[in-house]
Structure 1
């Protein structure tokens, strides 16, 4: 499955960001703590490279704490600024805001301009509401709820700007695209629940098998070679069938309703019903990034050779 989702308003947001970045003092880039690499928009690296930027790993209450700590160490090691928060906590969000402000030269003669940016459904509006102490921005589990720029005046001489979430037109990293779909960053109308459920179950088997057993009361077979193609294809399907059976996702005659079972599993996973789970580690992300770079280099060399013929 190739996932592409780039609504028209996102193109307008990209144009707006390029224009607005020059007038802000600092940028709070909101990432999903469960998948910091996949939820980071590479467009921001180009658009925001001359402005102090703080990466905020939001939804840390849903992520594996050990993996989140590893990500924070990774960002520190490569010289990037990062902090993990739970967006519904005003104490944590204000600590992040103070961190962002500490990276700039503040002037008491004017208000400080802070931009909140990131891909859909990472919790930008939730953080805005926590900072304001009231509901000023729409929130929800549907990506791209924010459609236009929103400016709010906060205490401590701060003006904060919320922007619509933007994805990039083509998601080159297949695994990253699947992780985004599992997390809810991509509209459900652009995905196949059964497809992403199989991907997510395979991830759970690899990293958190006990969570599956505890939540659904099912058994997981571990053959000698759990990396075999047969196992990777058949075991997730078997578990999805068991989830469908135990949760009553059945059609007439006791036939399993795969779509219903898939939706149930994905919604429970997103809501944290299976515990604090991270969808990627920094080691995996760096390996994928390296592989994509090698693939890009090979494609460039191929294009150069063919263009000379």
Structure 2
């Protein structure tokens, strides 16, 4: 699968970020805790040179806690890049991450610290901003690319924070990265094949999270041996049927993906540091 989803506003945002980066003190990079590497835009690595930076693993409340800890060790220890795992709706989590980042900024306390929030679509950047502000200052939703323009908000502690639209890159490679991003909801559903990404998700769940499957779908006894059998069994049990009693694979796939994205399948991560066996640093 070759996913290409790069709306016009993303190119505009990319150019804006290049011009704006010099005017801020620090970058708060928000990634999805379930796929911290795949949801990291390599473009950020390039524009962040010389800037204070923190990688925030958001949605940690629905990610596998063991995998999340492994990622924190990887970023903090191996890459020497400050990282924190948070739930974006937790004021304590979000405030602590921001305060840690701002504490690295060398400034006169009378001067405002300027922090830019960056990341790919649907990682929860706007949710974090709303949590920090204590009110709705940025649009949020369950679909990617809600934020279209850069927004500035003044926070307590003499901090200005800038919310920016999420940007991907024109061609998403390698395949595993594209599939993980599609499953997470970072890519518009109009650009993906539900059945293909459900097959990827089903394989992951069967191999790494069989207990989650058994708890969410108790009718899976025994567990199917392959992804297609899992999709068909879930579809049949949940009434995803066509005329004649045949399983509607598209509807069954959508059901599994919705359960996975929402956390109803439990705390699941799509990748761990042990999976770093392909080049994720696609230069776009």
Q: Report what 2:130 is aligned to.
A: 129
Shift in Å at residue 12 of structure 1? Answer: 0.6
Q: How does 1:120-269 map to 2 (within 5 A)?
A: 120-216=121-217, 217-218=219-220, 219-221=222-224, 235-269=226-260
Asked if 1:115 is matched to 2:106, the reply is no
Pair 1:270-2:270 in alignment? no
Unaligned runs of 5+ in 2: none
1:211 CA displacement: 1.4
Residue equivalent to 1:230: none
Q: Which runs of 5+ in 1 are unaligned?
A: 223-234, 297-309
Q: SS in structure 2 opposite 1:142? A: coil
TM-score (norm: length of structure 1) = 0.88
Deviating runs (4+, > 3 A) in structure 1?
Answer: none
Instruction: Note the C-alpha offset of 1:251.
Output: 1.4
Q: Aligned pair 1:52/2:43, yes or no?
A: no
Q: 1:261-300 maps to which residues of 2 (within 5 A)? A: 261-284=252-275, 286-289=276-279
- CA drift of 1:104 comes to 1.3
Q: Number of paired residues?
A: 280
Normalised to the residue count of structure 2, the TM-score between the two structures is 0.96
Match of 2:35 in 1: 35
Residue aligning to 2:61: 61
How far apart are the structure 2 equivalents of 1:213 and 1:109? 56
Cα distance in 2 for partners of 1:8, 1:280 equals: 30
C-alpha RMSD over aligned residues: 1.4
TM-fit CA distance, 1:7: 0.6
Q: Between Structure 1 and Structure 2, whose CA radius of gyration is higher?
A: 1
Contact 2:224 2:230 in 1 (8 A): no
Cα distance in 2 between the residues matched to 1:43 and 1:76: 20
Q: Secondary structure at the match of 1:86?
A: coil
Deviation at 1:106, TM superposition (A): 2.5
